Structure 1
Amino acid sequence: MSNQSENPNPTSSSTKITLKTSDNELFEVEEAVAMKFCTVKQYFDDENNNSITSGASTTMIPLPNVESHPLAILITYCKKYLKIKANNADNKKETEKDMEQYEQELLRKVMPQELTELILTAYYLNFKEALDFFCRAVASAIQNKSVEYVRKFFGLESDFEPGEEEKLREEFAWSFEGVDEY
Structure 2
Amino acid sequence: MSPTAEQNVEGSMVAKEEVCYRFHSKEGREFTLSKSAAHLSVLVKQMVPDLGIDDDEEIKTMRPIPLINVGSEALALVVKWCEHHKTMPAWEEEKWWLNERDAEMRRWEREFITAMSPDQLFNVFSAANYMDIKCLFDKCAEAVADMARGKSVEEIREVWILENDFTPEEQEKMNNENPWTVVLRDIDIKARPDEF
Normalised by the size of structure 2, how large is the TM-score? 0.74
2:8 aligns with one of 3, 25, 33: 3
Q: Which residue of 2 aligns with 1:149?
A: 155
Give the Å deviation of 1:161: 1.9
After superposition, where does 1:25-174 map in structure 2 within 5 Å? 25-54=29-58, 56-57=60-61, 59-83=63-87, 85=88, 95-166=101-172, 172-174=181-183
Is the CA contact (8 Å cut-off) linking 2:20 and 2:60 kept in structure 1?
Answer: no
Is the CA contact (8 Å cut-off) linking 2:20 and 2:59 kept in structure 1?
Answer: no
Q: Which amino acid aligns with 1:6?
A: M
Give the Å deviation of 1:63: 1.1
Q: 1:129 to 1:164 in 2, by over 3 A?
A: same
Give the Å deviation of 1:42: 1.6
Give the Å deviation of 1:164: 4.3
Q: Which amino acid aligns with 2:13?
A: E
Deviation track 1:97-140 (CA, whole Å, cap 9, x = no partner) reads 22321121113310012221111100111111100110111011
Distance 2:109 2:60 in 1: 35
Is the CA contact (8 Å cut-off) linking 1:18 and 1:59 kept in structure 2?
Answer: yes
Give the Å deviation of 1:22: 0.9
Distance 2:127 2:113 in 1: 16
Q: 1:167 to 1:49 in 2, by over 3 A?
A: closer
% identical aligned pairs: 26
Is the CA contact (8 Å cut-off) linking 2:21 and 2:59 kept in structure 1?
Answer: no
**Equivalences, count:** 172
Distance 1:41 1:55 in 2: 13
Structure 2: gaps spanning 5 or more residues: 2-6, 90-97
Distance 1:106 1:55 in 2: 29
Give the Å deviation of 1:150: 1.4
Q: Which amino acid aligns with 2:158?
A: K
Give the Å deviation of 1:167: 6.3
Distance 2:71 2:27 in 1: 6
Q: Which amino acid aligns with 1:17?
A: Y
